[in-house]
């Protein structure tokens, strides 16, 4: 799965919460931090990461991955899974 | 809530002071004014230790004044029952607005131990946090463990320094309990149970191999602490065995709700010839012959989200005025790896102002994950809203 496809999948998965916050697709930029912006809570974020692992077949140690503060941004997630 | 609690002074940081609008009658003290505070504020020492608000089905949160005597009974029992020492290091995962934080603070300090205040991201890297901070006593909602399972971080021997672990705030699934005990064999682990009205926790179930190998989907609530009494009400008849609404009595049971006679009369009753004061929990349990309580559900629509009590009616009460006569119904649904609220409405409406209203009135955990519009609500044969049908509808997208 390339970065563009992964971005589309990620945006689709957070669509419910992002639209509830009034965020348009154009506002879902690489530097948007999904946790600190309140788009996702920790449970939804872990669910998203688990979903991306399933979709890409890439196994990650999520605790280690989250040591990098950028990992909770859209760009950080795309970096992790592509 | 501030009105009901008769709050006169609000302590907060200057950052928060500018973000809340309070009537001029409230005195707001930020960190800059704090040093000058002592001679100004007169402290009235009453029988209450703290006041906690819980979700109310009518849209108004219920205030539970917890007495110092009730809290002392809890802290005294816990200090006697579990082998805490002054070399222990405790987690503090619970927010201060959650009554379980009172356990974090005072059980720890009562033992002369060290309380470790986690950074906000610790919940997502709990295993690393426990190891870094050399935590020995763990206390969390079961959802925290479910999250760690999902992150695949709960592996055998991952937190060898833990020696005591407690779970409280919501039902602990046996599957989750098994994973925990498999990963943390060094810790003696316990499931605690207790509504806010009975002061933090009032019953305990050790996570023994018999419990973990048992057939219950959720870990039993266990037995009430010494000096307390538990019965089940079936058709308003109290019994020591069988299934029904759990009622509790004893030194940790509080007097009632703050300025809410109706709710107090509904939930607190004097029963028997001795007029013992009992609290009706609304929890349906099966009491076995050994006095062990097994949770089987709720008597009403109340749900627990990450340990927070939520009355779906409180969400509906915020939205109803925005729907021009339309109806709203909120249900809890297994979604996105956890239990979530989903609200249904039966009229077309822009959801953005609805979410804005919810966010301004309710804590984050009560804001629904989704608002779904349907043409008409499903009803059962007796004309009652079919909540199960709504849950299925939400799960099927």
* B11-27 residue pLDDT tens: 888 777 777 677 777 88
In terms of pLDDT, which residue wins out, A51 or B114? B114
- From the list A20, A46, A67, the residue facing B147 with the nearest CB is A46
Per-residue confidence band for B46, with pLDDT thresholds at 50, 70 and 90: confident
Per-residue pLDDT, averaged over B126-143, amounts to: 95
The alpha carbon dihedral of A31, A65, A10, B332 has a sign of: negative
Q: Report whether pLDDT(B197) > 70.
A: yes
**Residue B130 three-state SS:** helix
* B313-333 residue pLDDT tens: 899 989 988 988 888 999 999
The secondary structure element, H or E, covering residue B366 is none
- The whole-angstrom separation of Cα B230 and Cα B228 is 7
Smallest CA-to-CA distance from A49 within A31, A38, A62, A37 is with: A62
- Contact (CB, 8 A) for B277 and B253: yes
The secondary structure element, H or E, covering residue B304 is strand B303-305
Contact (CB<8Å) B150/A46 = yes
Shortest CA gap B148–chain A (Å): 9
Boundaries of every domain in chain B: 1-44, 67-227+290-298, 311-395
- The whole-angstrom separation of Cα B211 and Cα B290 is 14
pLDDT value at position B397? 67
* Angle separating helix axes B174-183 and B142-150, nearest 10 degrees: 70
List Cβ neighbours of B350 (8 Å cut-off, separation of 6 or more): none
Q: Which CATH architecture has domain B67-227+290-298?
A: 3-Layer(aba) Sandwich (3.40)
- The whole-angstrom separation of Cα A52 and Cα A65 is 13
Q: Report whether pLDDT(B41) > 70.
A: no
Contact (CB<8Å) A63/B125 = yes
Query: Which of A10, A27, A42 to mutate: most B Cβ within 10 Å?
Result: A42
Smallest CA-to-CA distance from B393 within B354, B344, B326 is with: B344
* B75-92 residue pLDDT tens: 999 999 999 999 999 999
State the burial class of residue B248 (Cβ atoms within 10 Å of its Cβ: 0-12, 13-18, 19+). Answer: buried
Per-residue confidence band for B117, with pLDDT thresholds at 50, 70 and 90: very high
Interface of B with A in 282-311 (CB under 8 A): 306
* B210-251 residue pLDDT tens: 999 998 899 999 999 999 999 999 888 888 999 999 999 999
Q: Is A62 on the interface with B (CB under 8 A)?
A: yes
- The whole-angstrom separation of Cα B206 and Cα B193 is 11
Contact (CB<8Å) B121/A66 = yes
Give the domains, in start order, of chain A with CATH numbers: 3-81 (1.10.1200)
In terms of pLDDT, which residue wins out, B15 or A2? A2
pLDDT value at position B9? 82
B303-305 and B293-298 beta bridge pairing: unpaired
* B264-281 residue pLDDT tens: 999 998 877 778 889 999
pLDDT value at position B176? 94
- The whole-angstrom separation of Cα B55 and Cα B362 is 10
Query: ipTM score here?
Result: 0.70
Q: Is B153 on the interface with A (CB under 8 A)?
A: yes
Contact (CB<8Å) B352/A22 = yes
Share of chain B above pLDDT 70, in %: 96
- From the list A16, A46, A66, the residue facing B337 with the nearest CB is A46
Per-residue pLDDT, averaged over B183-207, amounts to: 97
- The whole-angstrom separation of Cα B107 and Cα B42 is 28
Contact (CB<8Å) B125/A50 = no
Sheet arrangement for strand B338-345: B328-335, B338-345, B370-373
In terms of pLDDT, which residue wins out, B121 or B62? B62
- The whole-angstrom separation of Cα B49 and Cα B45 is 9
Per-residue confidence band for B34, with pLDDT thresholds at 50, 70 and 90: confident
Contacts 24+ apart (CB under 8 A), B234-242: B238/B271, B238/B272, B239/B287, B240/B287, B240/B291, B241/B287, B241/B288, B241/B289, B242/B286, B242/B287
List Cβ neighbours of B132 (8 Å cut-off, separation of 6 or more): none
* B361-381 residue pLDDT tens: 888 888 898 899 998 898 877
The alpha carbon dihedral of B304, B58, B195, B125 has a sign of: positive
Query: CATH classification of B311-395 is 3.30.300.30, yes or no?
Result: yes
Tokens of A12: 């689709």
* A9-58 residue pLDDT tens: 898 888 877 877 778 888 899 999 998 888 887 777 887 888 888 888 88
Q: Report whether pLDDT(B40) > 60.
A: no
What is the residue-averaged pLDDT of chain B? Answer: 90
């Amino acid at each position: 799965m390339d970065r563009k496809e992964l971005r589309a999948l990620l945006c689709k998965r957070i669509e419910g919460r992002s639209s509830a916050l009034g965020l348009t697709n154009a506002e879902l930029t690489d530097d948007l931090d999904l946790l600190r912006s309140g788009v996702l809570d920790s449970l939804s974020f872990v669910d998203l990461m688990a979903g991306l692992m399933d979709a890409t077949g890439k196994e990650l140690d999520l605790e280690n991955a989250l040591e990098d503060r950028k990992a909770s941004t859209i760009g950080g997630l795309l970096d992790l899974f592509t | 809530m501030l009105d009901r609690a008769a709050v006169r002074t609000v302590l907060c940081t200057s950052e928060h002071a500018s973000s809340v609008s309070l009537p001029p009658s409230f005195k707001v003290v930020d960190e800059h004014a704090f040093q000058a505070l002592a001679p100004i504020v007169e402290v009235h020492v009453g029988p209450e230790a703290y006041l906690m608000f819980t979700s109310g089905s009518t849209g108004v949160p219920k205030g539970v004044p917890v007495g110092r005597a009730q809290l002392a009974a809890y802290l005294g029992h816990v200090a006697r029952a579990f082998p805490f020492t002054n070399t222990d290091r405790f987690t503090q995962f619970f927010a201060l607005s959650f009554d379980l934080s009172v356990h974090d603070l005072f059980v720890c300090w009562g033992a002369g131990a060290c309380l470790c205040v986690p950074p906000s991201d610790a919940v997502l890297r709990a295993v690393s946090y426990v190891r870094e901070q050399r935590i020995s006593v763990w206390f969390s909602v079961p959802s925290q463990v479910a999250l760690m399972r999902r992150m695949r971080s709960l592996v055998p021997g991952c937190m060898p320094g833990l020696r005591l672990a407690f779970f409280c705030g919501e039902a602990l699934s046996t599957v989750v309990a098994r994973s925990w005990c498999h990963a943390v064999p060094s810790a003696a682990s316990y499931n605690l149970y207790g509504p806010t009205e009975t002061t933090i926790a009032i019953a305990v179930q050790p996570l023994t191999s018999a419990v973990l190998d048992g057939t219950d989907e959720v870990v039993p609530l266990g037995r009430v602490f010494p000096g307390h009494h538990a019965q089940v009400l079936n058709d308003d008849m109290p019994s020591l065995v069988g299934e029904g609404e759990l009622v509790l009595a004893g030194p940790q049971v509080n007097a009632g709700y703050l300025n809410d006679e109706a709710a107090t009369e509904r939930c607190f009753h004097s029963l028997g010839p001795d007029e013992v004061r009992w609290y009706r929990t609304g929890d349906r349990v099966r009491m076995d012959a050994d006095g062990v309580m097994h949770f089987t559900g709720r008597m009403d629509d109340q749900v627990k989200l990450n340990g927070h009590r939520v009355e779906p009616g409180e969400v509906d009460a915020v939205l109803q005025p925005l729907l021009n006569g339309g109806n709203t119904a909120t249900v809890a649904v297994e979604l996105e790896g956890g239990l979530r609220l989903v609200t249904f409405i039966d009229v077309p409406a822009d959801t953005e102002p609805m979410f804005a209203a919810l966010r301004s009135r309710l804590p984050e955990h009560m804001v629904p994950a989704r608002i779904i519009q349907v043409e008409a609500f499903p009803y059962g044969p007796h004309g009652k809203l079919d909540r199960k049908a709504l849950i299925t509808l939400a799960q099927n997208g």
